[in-house]
Amino acid sequence: MKESNFNKVIKVAKVITFLITLFIIYTFISFLVQEDSKKVMTSKQTTILSLVILVLVYFNLDWVFGVFKKKKRR
């Protein structure tokens, strides 16, 4: 029982980390593309670009470090 609660906490923490990272990347990209208060990209394009970057980063982390390794079932 305690182990399943622990796994739930880890999943929630991963989701929160994902959202925080997404927000940071989104803010960074929107800061970069605002050149002298001229909008280079629309808000939708910025969102899509930040999502793509975030997904790539997470897949690379998963591939390199096995961040989201699934437990082997016996």
d(CA 13, CA 33): 30
Task: Write down the pTM of the prediction.
Answer: 0.47
Residue with tokens 């803010």: 27
Give the pLDDT confidence score for residue 39 in this predicted structure.
Answer: 62
- Residue 58 is predicted with a pLDDT of 72
**Which secondary-structure segment (H or E) carries 1?**
none
pLDDT of residue 73: 53
pLDDT in tens, the chain (74 residues): 566 787 788 778 877 887 787 788 777 777 777 665 566 667 777 777 777 877 777 776 665 555 555 555 55
- The domain locations on the chain are 2-63
User: Cα torsion at 22, 18, 51, 27 (round to 10°)?
Assistant: 0
SS (H, E, C) 23-71: HHHHHHHHHHHEECCEECCCHHHHHHHHHHHHHHHHHHHHHHHCCCCCC
